Structure 1
Amino acid sequence: MSASAIDALFAAEPFPRSRGGRFVAALRDCARLQARRFPALARLYAREGFSPAALRSEGAVERLPFLHVAVFKEHDFRPRPPFRPALSLTSSGTGGQRSRIVLDEGSLRRVRLSARKVYAALGMVAEGRPANYLCMTYDPRQAKDLGTAFTDELLTSFTAKAEVHYAIRRPSGGEFRFDLDAALAALGRMSRSGLPLRVLGFPAHVLFTMRAWRERGLPPLRLGPESWVLSGGGWKGHAGDAIPKVEFYAEVSSWLGIPRANIRDLYGLVEHGIPYVECRLGRMHVPDYARVIVRDPWTLKSLPHGRKGLLQLVTPYLTSYPSFSVLASDWGLTRPLCRCGTPGRTLELLGRAGTAPAKGCAVTAAELLRAA
C-alpha cells in the first residue's frame, strides 16, 4: 500500500486557508498501514468497532482509537525484522519511564519537512543567513537517540550555521551535566561576533544562565531583531517550581536585547513528532499535519473549543510506530482562531495531568541544574 496521500499532505502548506480533504485521506492510509504492521492495533480497532475505511470526513477523526502515552513507556512496539529503522528516538523521562520510537525513511523525511514548513510559515527560517546557536540541551553527538537532542539539532538547520555550542555534555566516564561556565563563555563570545544568535532549549536552563550572567555583573546584551530564543521542554525551574511564562519572556527579552515576539515556545512529544509552535502573539498553532482533540477525562468524549481536557494528538506522518493517535498526559484546550492572521486552530496548554506524573523534559532539566 502506498503512502502517496500521506506524502501529499506533507508537501502542502502547514496553515492553509481551507482544510480540504488531504488530512483525512492521509490519516485513512496511515491507519490502514499501521493496522497491517501492528496486529495489536488491528485488535484494538476490532474491539472498538472501528475501520480505517470510516475515515471519510473531519468528523470521523475523533472516532479514531488512541493509545495513552504511558503505554509507549511500558511496552516495546518496534516492528519485527526485517524492518530496519532509519532513526530510533527516546523521550527524556527518567526513572525507567522512557518511550522509544522508530522512524522509517518516509516518517523521518516527513517529520523533518513538517518542522521546517511550520517554522518557516511562522517566520523563523532564514536560509543562507549565518547565525550562532547556543543550545541549552544535549549534545547530539553524545545523546544520539534522545528526542530533544534530535529536535534541537533540527532547529539549527533553519539558518546557515556559524558556531554551535551544546551546554549539556557528558564528561568521559561521567553523567550528563549542564556546563554553566562553558555556556556563559559561549554566550559572551557569540555576542561579540556580530552575527545573530539563536538560543534553543529548556526554559529552566535559559533562566539559570540569565541569572548567573547578572550575578557576575555582566551587562545586558543587544542582540537585535534577527536573534531568537526558541524554547521547549516544559516550565519547571531549578527547584522544580513553575516558571512564570510572561515574566520569563519579559526578563529574557531585556537581558538579550531582542524583541519579545522573538521568544517562542514549542510543545511536542517524541511519541507524536509534530511541533506546536507559538506565533508572534504567543499562541501555539496547530498545523494541518495534525489534529488536536480535547477529551473529557471521565467520559473521554470530545470537547468543544474553550473547554479544558486531555489532549489527543493525531498525525499521519508516522507509519513505522503505532503512536500516530496518542492521548497525552497534558491538560489543554483549543481555540478556533488567532488574531495574528495565521489560519487554523490554536492550542493552549494548562499543565500536566495526574497526581504522580511521569518525569518529563522539564523535571529532567531541573535535575541537571541541581547538579550544575
Structure 2
Amino acid sequence: MTNPYTLVSDQKQNLLLEGLNELTKHHIEQCALYRSMIEKSSLPSNSNRLEAVPYLPVQLFKMMDLTSIPKSDVVKTLTSSGTTGQQVSKIYLDKETAAAQSRALVDVMKPLLGSQRLPMIIFDTKSVLKDRRSFSARGAGILGFANFGRHHFYAMFDDMTVDWDGLEDFLLEHRNSKILLFGFTYMVWKHVYQEAKRSGKTLDFGDSILIHGGGWKKLQDEAVDSTTFKSELKRVLGIQKVHNYYGMVEQVGSIFVECKQGHLHTPHFADVIVRDSLSFKPLPYGQQGLIQVQSLLPRSYPGHSLLTEDLGTIHGEDDCPCGWKGKYFTVAGRIPKAELRGCSDTYGFGQGGSNS
C-alpha cells in the first residue's frame, strides 16, 4: 500500500488531470444521460486544468439513475442517508469500482491506523447490514471501516440504546490492546456520549482511536463544534484520539481524513475545489464556498467530479504542520436552504464557473 499524502501539487495535478479527463470521456461513451448533459452544455471532454473538468451537482443522483455499466454488472447499490419521504441518491457499483474504493479506503486510513487489524467497537446496530446487495450510506460506511477491525462488537441494540454490559466486557477483554472505535458523529454524540453523561456511566476506553463522520448538521444546530466534541468525549468517555472524516455515498472510498492538526486532507487520487455559491468561480484559499470533490475512483457511474451542497474552506496545500501533502481544508456545514433552492435552479452542471 502507498501513502496517499506524499505527492506535491505539480505531481498530483498531472496525475489527477489525466485520470479525470479519461473518466469524463469514459462516462460520455458509456452513460447516455451524462453524454446528453455534456453535449447540451457544450462542455469539452478534455480539460487543461482541474478547475475546468465538468462537474455534476450531487443532487442529480437523487433525480435520475446515472450509470455507466449494464444492469447485469451491478454488484452493489448504495443509497444516501435521508429521512422518510426524502429522495435518496442511488449509486451503482460493479466489481472493479467496488474493489478500487475498498483499496483506496485502506490507503487513506493506513497512516492513522497502521497495518494491523484492531479489536473494533462499532457504535451502531448490526441490523443495518441486513441486505448485502443494497446499502444505505450508513451501512456502506460500517462495512468499509469494518475491514480495519477484528472481533467486531456492535455496541447498539436495534432501538439505539447502548449495550453497556457488552461494552464493558469487550473493553475488559481487550484492555491490553489498542482499540478501534467507529461511528457516525451525531449517533456517537446523542446515543453514546449523552446517555453516558445522563446515566453517570464511566468507561475506560484505554488506548483507543475513534473514527467518525457525517451528521455534523444536527450537532451544529445544537452548537457543538469539533473542539467541543473531542473534549467532551475525552472528559466523559476517556477517548483520547478522535479523527473526523468527510465523505459522501456518491464518492465512497474517496474520503478526506482529519490529521492531528484538525484539517481534512486530500489523498493523491482525490481533490477539492471551493467555488463561489453564486458565480461558481473557484475561490482562493482562505475563502469559504461550495465544495467540489474530484476522484479517480468512480468508473461504474459518472461521479468523478461533483459539486456538493456543503460549505468549506481550503487553508493551504502541501504545507500542513502535520507533514501530509495535498490540500487541507475544513467543512462548515450545509449551505442554507434558501441558498440551496436558488443554487438548484441556477446550476445544472458546469465547468470553471460557466453554466449553460
Indicate the RMSD between aligned Cα atoms, in angstroms.
2.4
Q: Deviations over 1:5-27 (max 9, x none)?
A: xxxxxx75411233522222211
Aligned partner of 1:314 in structure 2 is 294
**3-state DSSP of counterpart to 2:320:** coil
Structure 1 stretch displaced more, 42-51 or 136-145: 136-145
Of 316, 322, 334, the residue aligned with 1:340 is 322
Of 206, 211, 214, the residue aligned with 2:197 is 214
**3-state DSSP of counterpart to 2:20:** helix
Q: Is the 8 A contact 2:58 2:250 kept in 1?
A: yes
Of 116, 132, 136, the residue aligned with 2:124 is 136
1: CA distance, partners of 2:137 / 2:301 = 15
Of 21, 30, 33, the residue aligned with 1:37 is 30
Aligned partner of 2:51 in structure 1 is 62
The reply on whether 1:264 has 2:243 as its aligned counterpart is yes
Aligned partner of 1:84 in structure 2 is 73
**3-state DSSP of counterpart to 2:331:** strand
Q: Is the 8 A contact 1:283 1:346 kept in 2?
A: yes
1:114 CA drift (Å): 0.9
The alpha-carbon distance between structure 1 residues 63 and 216, as it changes in their structure 2 partners (threshold 3 A), is same
1:51 CA drift (Å): 2.7
Aligned partner of 1:173 in structure 2 is none
| Identical columns (%) | 25
Aligned partner of 2:87 in structure 1 is 97
Q: Is the 8 A contact 2:196 2:236 kept in 1?
A: no
Aligned partner of 1:353 in structure 2 is 335
Q: Is the 8 A contact 2:153 2:170 kept in 1?
A: no
Q: Please, which runs of 5 or more residues in structure 1 have no aligned partner?
A: 1-10, 170-176, 359-372
2: CA distance, partners of 1:314 / 1:325 = 4
Q: Is the 8 A contact 1:249 1:263 kept in 2?
A: yes
Count of residue pairs brought into register by the alignment: 328
Q: Deviations over 1:283-323 (max 9, x none)?
A: 11011111211111111111111111111111121111122
Aligned partner of 2:351 in structure 1 is none
2: CA distance, partners of 1:156 / 1:100 = 22
**3-state DSSP of counterpart to 1:136:** coil
1:230 CA drift (Å): 1.0
1: CA distance, partners of 2:71 / 2:181 = 40
TM-score normalised over the length of structure 2: 0.84
The alpha-carbon distance between structure 1 residues 324 and 238, as it changes in their structure 2 partners (threshold 3 A), is closer
Of 232, 235, 238, the residue aligned with 2:213 is 232
Of 258, 282, 286, the residue aligned with 1:302 is 282
Aligned partner of 2:350 in structure 1 is none
Q: Is the 8 A contact 1:290 1:314 kept in 2?
A: yes
The reply on whether 1:46 has 2:35 as its aligned counterpart is no
Q: Deviations over 1:246-281 (max 9, x none)?
A: 11101111233232xx10111111012210110112
1:78 CA drift (Å): 3.6
Structure 1 stretch displaced more, 194-203 or 227-236: 194-203
The alpha-carbon distance between structure 1 residues 234 and 303, as it changes in their structure 2 partners (threshold 3 A), is same
Aligned partner of 1:8 in structure 2 is none
1: CA distance, partners of 2:219 / 2:24 = 41
1:43 CA drift (Å): 2.7
Q: Deviations over 1:157-205 (max 9, x none)?
A: 124x113215263xxxxxxx42x142x2332222212243332122222
Q: Please, which runs of 5 or more residues in structure 2 have no aligned partner?
A: 342-356
Supply the AA of the counterpart residue of 1:340.
Answer: C
2: CA distance, partners of 1:303 / 1:141 = 40
